[in-house]
């Protein structure tokens, strides 16, 4: 404790610091849920899902079923011996993320402002 600082003020600073750290951890955890990695520079602006290699142009559309909009049932891709590729757009650049390990479902969230895709 620095000279001239009373105990209640010191505690308030500790609590504020703890809350800031907790909020930063929560934001990082939310970003880690997305298939698209967090990179320096522009944030993710668009996400595309492909059955296999994007060069084959087999882009997947979300299912319109009871699971809700923006849900992709993708187990069938793996059942047929293929894999998913997620194309993450960052401004003028893009990054392809190949998901060779089976996932059953992907869910898009965040809308146009903060697109995110979580697969499990």
Rounded to whole angstroms, how far apart are CA atoms 110 and 53?
A: 25
Closest CA to 61 of 76, 49, 78: 49
Q: Using a pLDDT cut of 70, give the percent of the chain over it.
A: 68
The pTM of the whole model exceeds 0.85 = no
Mean pLDDT for the stretch of residues 27-47: 78
Rounded to whole angstroms, how far apart are CA atoms 95 and 93?
A: 7
pLDDT confidence band for 29 (50 / 70 / 90) = very low
Tell me how far CA of residue 16 lies from CA of 8, 10, 12, 21, 25, in angstroms: 12, 10, 6, 9, 14
The per-residue pLDDT for 19 is 34
Q: Which residue has the higher pLDDT, 4 or 65?
A: 65
């Amino acid at each position: 404790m620095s000279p001239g600082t009373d105990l209640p003020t010191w505690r308030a600073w500790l609590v504020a610091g703890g809350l800031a750290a907790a909020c930063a951890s929560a934001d990082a955890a939310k970003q880690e849920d997305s298939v698209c990695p967090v990179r320096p520079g522009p944030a993710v602006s668009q996400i595309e899902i492909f059955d296999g290699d994007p060069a084959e142009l087999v882009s997947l559309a979300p299912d319109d079923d009871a699971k809700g909009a923006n849900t992709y049932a993708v187990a069938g891709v793996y059942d047929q011996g293929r894999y998913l590729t997620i194309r993450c757009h960052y401004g003028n650049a893009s990054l392809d993320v190949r998901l060779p390990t089976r996932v059953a479902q992907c869910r898009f969230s965040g809308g146009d402002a903060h697109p995110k895709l979580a697969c499990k």
